[in-house]
Chains A and B, each alone.
Chain A
Amino acid sequence: GENVEQHPSTLSVQEGDSAVIKCTYSDSASNYFPWYKQELGKRPQLIIDIRSNVGEKKDQRIAVTLNKTAKHFSLHITETQPEDSAVYFCAASNEAAGNKLTFGGGTRVLVKP
């Protein structure tokens, strides 16, 4: 089955700096890669996603890049703000497997003012 590894497990950045989280996946059939943000005590929220036919996608301060050959994808947050502090999860799925997401272990991001 699919295996997703996520690094780093914790990330501390100064407000205004950039944050980068990297994930690798094992199943070359995976074709959908979402990112979720989970604040303490709250539900995971989809912040951005990318499909395998696209190499990069951007939404304001957030961007995701995908390298299918290397089987890795990354989340980039620019101009970080204290409200970006949360746990971020990457995930992968194969459309043929329906809505079965395999999640990475999560990255705890702390933005210091």
Chain B
Amino acid sequence: KAGVTQTPRYLIKTRGQQVTLSCSPISGHRSVSWYQQTPGQGLQFLFEYFSETQRNKGNFPGRFSGRQFSNSRSEMNVSTLELGDSALYLCASSFGGDEKLFFGSGTQLSVL
């Protein structure tokens, strides 16, 4: 069974631009969560989608948004990028009713 797949692996953007990250969950998993990982703040929860609906949201500004498609694939969008948005963005999937999360390898975003 294939794991969680995130694309792209690396991204370099400049301030003010926007970016879209993609996540394909493990087959059969209906929940997709997104986390931001930085050396200073650690792992922080962004949001969770289940059956195309946002089920949970963390404490991030509205510039961070996401969505989930009918095939459970998810995208995350960050608009008006700031230098502080530079981070590893991790996607994790789970079956839904079980909290066991399986992470992807992440997208390393650098904002210049």
Interface residues of A (CB under 8 A from B): 32, 34, 36, 42-46, 49, 89, 91, 93, 95, 97-106
Contact = CB atoms under 8 A, between A and B. Distances in A.
A64 to B, nearest CB: 14
Contacts of B92: 99
Nearest to A106: B42
B105 to A, nearest CB: 5
B43 A103 contact: yes
Main secondary structure of the interface of B (DSSP, over half): strand
A98 B55 contact: yes
A93 B106 contact: no
B31 to A, nearest CB: 5
Contact of A99 (B33, B43, B104): B33
29 contacts: A34-B100, A36-B103, A43-B104, A44-B43, A49-B99, A49-B100, A89-B43, A91-B43, A95-B99, A98-B48, A98-B50, A98-B55, A98-B56, A99-B33, A99-B55, A99-B92, A99-B94, A99-B99, A100-B33, A100-B45, A100-B48, A100-B56, A101-B43, A101-B45, A102-B45, A103-B42, A103-B43, A103-B44, A104-B42
